[in-house]
Structure 1
Amino acid sequence: MKRRDLINWVGLAAIASSLPVAIAACSPQTTASEDWQTIGTVEDLDQDGQLLVQESASVNVLVIGTSTTPNLIAVDARCTHSGCTVTWENEANKFGCRCHGAEYDSQGQVLRGPATKPLKTYTAKIENSSVLVKAN
């Protein structure tokens, strides 16, 4: 093999071995901020101390708190027993389902049946003037 051919092969091998790195660098990256979904405004949350969003089968969330609350509570608002919408009972500090009487604590755990599974929970935060949630 001639010296020139050897240099060409080494150069080609170097380019080929760096190709996966170049492709990965150009690919879109998923960031943590993309996991958050805006569901409403702080003004809406402060109005009633809760924000219920029922946009579709994928977004059905109830956020409890205000702009001054240190930790917002956010759960899937569908009862795990029959799919009815749960409501927040502020005085009792629990979620209740009016369809069949199921009750859940503030963390979504079942307090009273007929439900046997807890509510799905979300992490919620306020950023600027928006309320955002992220699935746990």
Structure 2
Amino acid sequence: MKRRDFVNWVGLGLIASSLPVAIAACSSQTPSASGNWQTVGTSADLDKTGQLLAKNSPAGPVLIVGTSKAPNLTAVNPTCTHAGCTVGWEPSTKTFLCPCHGSKYGADGKVLKGPATEALKTYAAKIEGSSIVVKPS
């Protein structure tokens, strides 16, 4: 094999070995540069009822409250810290309520009424384009 052929094969090998890295860098599946934001739904789904429950999101179970027009979104893990039931949002009182034993949480996830003693896990939430994205806080 001539030196020129050898150098060409080595160059081709280097290009071929870097191709997967280039494809991965362009993939929409990679985390955004601004952190580990995860898409959990669309703003259209949120606007239908003012809340969006994503039980199997990449960030885990998430309940988002608000609308695409609201300046801030509220996002919590809806699993009650007392018995593991899924809490629901009560818009009239602006609280999360557990249907199993009556625990009540504020919009910030803090316990307002027991038997729960630990707050709900909260997330930072925002709208990017037409997607709702969350980041564990």
Structure 2 match to 1:90: 91
For residues 63 and 123 of structure 1, the distance between their equivalents in structure 2, rounded to whole angstroms, comes to 10
Q: Secondary structure at the match of 1:55?
A: strand
For residues 92 and 100 of structure 1, the distance between their equivalents in structure 2, rounded to whole angstroms, comes to 18
- Asked if residue 108 in structure 1 is aligned to residue 109 in structure 2, the reply is yes
Structure 1 match to 2:125: 124
Alignment coverage as a number of residue pairs: 108
- Asked if residue 73 in structure 1 is aligned to residue 74 in structure 2, the reply is yes
Structure 2 match to 1:49: 50
Identity of aligned residues (%): 55
Structure 1: 5+ residue runs without aligned partners? 1-27
For residues 55 and 86 of structure 2, the distance between their equivalents in structure 1, rounded to whole angstroms, comes to 9
Structure 2 match to 1:61: 62
The offset of 1:95, in angstroms, is 0.3
Question: Which one-letter code corresponds to 2:34 in the other structure?
Answer: S
The offset of 1:58, in angstroms, is 5.5
The offset of 1:45, in angstroms, is 0.4
TM-score between both structures, scaled by the size of structure 1: 0.75
Structure 2 match to 1:24: none
Deviations 1:26-70 (A, max 9, x none): xx9x86534100000010000110000101796100000000010
For residues 39 and 32 of structure 2, the distance between their equivalents in structure 1, rounded to whole angstroms, comes to 16
Report the CA distance shift for 1:58/1:65 in structure 2 as closer, same or farther (over 3 A): closer
Structure 2 match to 1:23: none
Structure 1 match to 2:15: none
Report the CA distance shift for 1:69/1:31 in structure 2 as closer, same or farther (over 3 A): closer
Report the CA distance shift for 1:115/1:32 in structure 2 as closer, same or farther (over 3 A): farther
Report the CA distance shift for 1:90/1:67 in structure 2 as closer, same or farther (over 3 A): same
CA RMSD of aligned residues (A): 1.8
TM-score between both structures, scaled by the size of structure 2: 0.74
For residues 115 and 58 of structure 2, the distance between their equivalents in structure 1, rounded to whole angstroms, comes to 22
User: Which is greater in Rg?
Assistant: 1
CA contact (8 A) 2:37 2:134 kept: yes
Question: Which one-letter code corresponds to 1:39 in the other structure?
Answer: V
Structure 2: 5+ residue runs without aligned partners? 1-24, 26-30
